[in-house]
Structure 1
């Protein structure tokens, strides 16, 4: 489990859910986000083999989600053919910016929470752009991810440039990174690019994430992060240092529906099902269409025993302001007909773009260098530099 410091993010999220719903706080089962990805995270009666299969399935679910996003040329464009980046082209444009900022130096690519398809696309694009890749380092708390990452990346970069750490981000520092291979020991000729993709930045308080990312980097290192965001009144552009106040109350129904639709993607439903199975072997959520109902409890399984609930709740963060947090819960019947408990399966901050910049610059040793934004404004790739 990840080391925790008070206040715990998900405890605050659960409190907000309870305040904005009919679910009593004592009925919400709160997990640390890392609990879902590591072997010792959730104590169940699953065998060691079953636990390994579950962790592999959770990793595969996220990988499949990213693969689909990268293959869809129109995803997030809003109006295909009218300009504006798709998810894939925004990512590749951000990759081009990283190559430019490297200024001819070799790149050591450090990935937090490795994902095979996105990593393959980024690294292949860097190499095709003329960048020399010195080393790839994956850092993941889930031990089931390494073999998949090796199979995906070694054909591209070779086995001698592939390194992996099965470790907790919060207990790891830049000093733990493997030595550079071969002739690349002169670190002045190598720049480290760290990636924190897949909306991971929304999974904890910025007051914890900022120091963690600072420990994992050194001055001059670059950080590429990806977030699903809510819009603000600021005009869209590829690079901006501007900031403005914006909060969850400013999000329109249409804007929040984009977030809601993401959490009703079949792979996200599968993810919550896998977490639910850790508490109830029979738990299952069948894929269903995006919700159009005005019901408070969105979704719902065809079996009445289980519910899948999406909520966008407010949370006040120091130095950032009021943010929206996307949450999903699954219900578990209490034996003896004593009602239901609810497992918090997802919790992810949905900043505005300006709030995301504020979180980066006030809670860590980084300065924002630029942005790449999808055409519909729902996803941004933020490029930052470790400054001191």
Structure 2
């Protein structure tokens, strides 16, 4: 198939933002997703480890709150966020079809990971190995503490690396050298709306490089349209933990601060004014809405995330021809979709 070549995702978003707001080009820093966890070159006196841990813990708290509250995303009839996630896990167990699995998590997060793995193990799935892949080195100890009681130390592996530099050949070897890899299926999870952090033409090859034919992919997307209240997206981005996340990232680029206030969760970092925009963006699969948050620093810092419709989410997954969507689970308020696909 012919693959359309477009400018980089951040360039497209910056152009859309400038053309539809009063923001000037010289006022804008557009962050790659990896820059949130490797903020080198902007501020040299930040306590990096403390700040990275705080960023990770903020997102973990957001997920914990979502899983613990049965009303999260449930709408009037359900399912809730937690129930939809667990239903997707049940479908993974079915697709695994009694084969042992290697569970590979992109951007590890303790609460969802533990819920999924407990569900898979309860369904009789045989876990051969867990591999967490994260560019943020401060996440490993939290993930180890959360998952080792569930899966055992011998099955826990970690790889501190950028997703785009990973491949199947580079996966950490299982600690149990006697375990056979015959008939092993890899289950890759790409959760936390990470699907929206780049264009399909870049996400697709990355996912292909870490899977083999027959492997399973679980992805999560906050969707726009299809009956969902558009206000739910802005409500999510104005959540106190999301505001704190933006404040933590912003302080990495703010001169005159050592980052300790943000890392300690001070009210100052959480109380910053964050402007929210939902803008149309032309991509290789058509016009897609992108949610953008602007945090005030010495110059404006900006992060963004695509918001597909459910149909666009499927089109994005199948765009490269390497994956086929098998099924999906949708929350009751139609704002979040968990998509299960298989590598061709």
TM-score by length of 1: 0.82
Residue of structure 1 equivalent to 2:74: 77
**1:353 is aligned to 2:327:** no
Residue of structure 1 equivalent to 2:151: 157
1:364 Cα shift? 5.1
Q: Distance in 1 between matches of 2:70 and 2:283?
A: 35
1:12 Cα shift? 1.3
Larger displacement relative to structure 2 (355-364 or 369-378): 355-364
Aligned ranges 1:68-217 → 2 under 5 Å: 68-79=65-76, 82=77, 84-182=78-176, 185-217=179-211
CA RMSD of aligned residues (A): 2.2
Aligned ranges 1:1-388 → 2 under 5 Å: 7-38=7-38, 41-47=40-46, 50-79=47-76, 82=77, 84-182=78-176, 185-232=179-226, 255-280=229-254, 281-282=256-257, 307-318=273-284, 320-333=285-298, 341-344=299-302, 346-363=303-320, 365-387=322-344
Q: Is the 8 A contact 1:61 1:267 kept in 2?
A: yes
Q: Distance in 1 between matches of 2:83 and 2:70?
A: 8
Structure 1 segments unaligned to the other structure (5+ residues): 234-253, 289-300, 334-340
SS at match of 1:371: strand
Residue of structure 2 equivalent to 1:248: none
1:184 Cα shift? 6.2
What stretches of structure 1 move > 4 A for 4+ residues in a row?
A: 281-288
What whole-Å deviation, never above 9, does each CA across 1:6-53 have from its counterpart, x for those lacking one? 722112111111111011122111221101112x54531224xx1110
Distance 1:366 1:42, change over 3 A: farther
SS at match of 1:380: strand
SS at match of 2:92: helix
Q: Distance in 2 between matches of 1:286 and 1:307?
A: 14
1:181 Cα shift? 4.1
Q: Distance in 2 between matches of 1:136 and 1:53?
A: 26
Q: Distance in 1 between matches of 2:318 and 2:267?
A: 39
